[in-house]
Amino acid sequence: MRAAGGPLDALDAGEPAASVRAVFSWSYEQLSPAAAWLYRLLGLHPGPDITAAAAASLAGVEPAQASKLLAELADAQLSMEHVPGRYVFHDLLRAYAADLTRTRDDDAARRAALGRALDHYLQTAHAAAMLVNPSRQALSIAPPGPGVTSEQLAGPQQARAWFRAEHQVLLAAAALAAAAGSDRHAWQLSWAMGDYLDSRGDWQELAALQSNALAAATRLGDPAGQAACHRGLAAACTQLGEYELAHAHLAGSLELYRRHHDRAGQAGVHLTIAWVVACQGRYADALDHSEQALGLFQGTGDQVGQARALHQVGWCRAEVGRPEEARGVLPAGPGPAARTRSSRL
């Protein structure tokens, strides 16, 4: 198929009336102009399937109209609603759509459609990430462009379900963003997926994603993005037992935050360092970094950060044989804060 130039050419037997393109064109030519426009743009979509909200953003239309257009495509056998609310396309039909948009739509229209789709996934993923873990320091993301529709998520349970449903789509979107030169989308989508992948134990996948995100943030010249990606990589490396590499990434993250006078970022890194050295059994070092984090959070007035750091400080004091001091800061009951995700990310 690669030698032939693609799957559609590979399946072309030389008879125009029986070529794959000709067969597909019989259905395509029966579509309304709006459905034909959406179908062509679906050739740009990165994931294995799509929702009406994502399709609405891709085409820059209202979700209700996107639902009708997707139903029209399904009636024409150009797509299939394989689970309620999610539409899938055969690889050959996707290749045909990609061919059509390359030949019939101009570059500006394709770039705008791809930008809307990436905005859709970034806006929704960032909101979902903050619902899953409200203690994370939110990113400063650009507002969505015109025509972008985000998914509406009511709480952490819906946010987790959305991440599960969009897992492969988000990975593909981050990769496509990097390939298309949209480095902001690439690294911020990767950040948003961090807690979800960590909770599943997908640490190899998380490490690969964060490595690509770091490259994107570096190309972009975004120090805050680089610092966040270094920290995310450190968390993945720690889970994989690669402690030296984790410390190298944390040192890079801390230096970037210091250089740009980001005290909240520095505090978060110190908490992550505390977790890493605690995993290595170095509880005195973990206590030192927890106390540094506490001081920095106190300086910024971040009460949630102070609570996390106090929990970490108390647990570390108990581990180094100072239980009375630990009781002064820890709540009743067990709770090894150094092993919680909020202390890492």
Q: What is the pLDDT of residues 9-30, one digit of tens each?
A: 544 545 554 466 787 888 899 9
Q: Are 291 and 322 in contact (CB under 8 A)?
A: no
pLDDT band at 335 (very low <50, low <70, confident <90, very high): very low
Residues constituting the chain: 345
Which domains occur in the chain, in start order?
Answer: 1-105 (1.10.10.10)
* pLDDT at residue 70 is higher than 60: yes
State both tokens at 55: 């399709």
pLDDT band at 110 (very low <50, low <70, confident <90, very high): very high
Higher pLDDT, 139 or 5: 139
The C-alpha angle 77, 31, 91, rounded to 5 degrees, equals 40
8-state DSSP, 329: T
CA distances from 129 to 51, 155, 158, 196, 318 (A): 19, 11, 11, 8, 32
* pLDDT at residue 6 is higher than 70: no
Q: What pLDDT score was predicted for residue 336? A: 45
Q: What is the pLDDT of residues 235-245, one digit of tens each?
A: 999 999 999 99
Cα distance between residue 268 and residue 170, in whole Å: 26
State both tokens at 32: 């309304």
Q: At what angle do helices 203-220 and 223-239 cross, to 10 degrees?
A: 160
